[in-house]
Amino acid sequence: MNDYGAGSGSNGIACCVALLYFISMSSKTFVFLCLIVTIETAKQFALSFEEAVELPHFHLISFRVNKKIFATMDIENKRVCVKLSKVDQSVFSAFDKSVIYPVPNKWGLQGATYIELSKVKKPMLKDALTTAYCFIAPKKLAEKYK
């Protein structure tokens, strides 16, 4: 289990959340700002899995393993959609429904889950993508990430 209450068995996440800090010389305070996840970072995460490929899917970008979609990306809305089990969807959505939430239609009832790239932290995105990949990938490939 990680620090936000979701666990995919990914043995910890190798990426760190990068922080910028600004020092106010007058008040001697530190203000920390988390870097947002860029489209390029999200693509790199999705393509980091063995045999993952990027293909078009209507107006979206899809990420597939074994010809099956585990995630799509909507560049215009800066959003990723992952395919999760109902249990994993519930766990991730419990964190903050403004960051990760079920797609508001029948696809959402089947595990399709939106992730807002402007709000999500890198470790959470990586964990959600890992969980989606492991849910869709053949067992031999998925075992490498659990």
Buried b (16+ CB within 10 A) or exposed e, 30-68: eeeeeeebeeebbbebbeebeebeeeeeeebbbbbbeee
Question: What does the longest C-alpha to C-alpha distance in the chain come to?
Answer: 57
**Considering Cα of 48, then 132, then 41, then 9, what sign does the dihedral take?**
negative
What are 97's two structure tokens?
A: 């429904």
Task: Give the mean pLDDT of 40-65.
Answer: 98
Asked if residue 5 has pLDDT above 60, the reply is no
pLDDT given for residue 35 in this prediction: 58
Specify the pLDDT at position 126: 97
In order of 18, 33, 117, the CA distances from 21 in angstroms are 10, 7, 21
Length of the chain in terms of residues written: 146
d(CA 79, CA 96): 15
Report the distance separating Cα 61 and Cα 42, nearest Å: 11
For 19-145, give the CATH class: alpha beta
- Reported as a pLDDT band with limits 50, 70 and 90, residue 58 is very high
Residue 52: the pLDDT is: 98
Q: What is the pLDDT of residues 17-41, one digit of tens each?
A: 223 333 333 334 333 344 569 999 9
pLDDT for position 60: 98
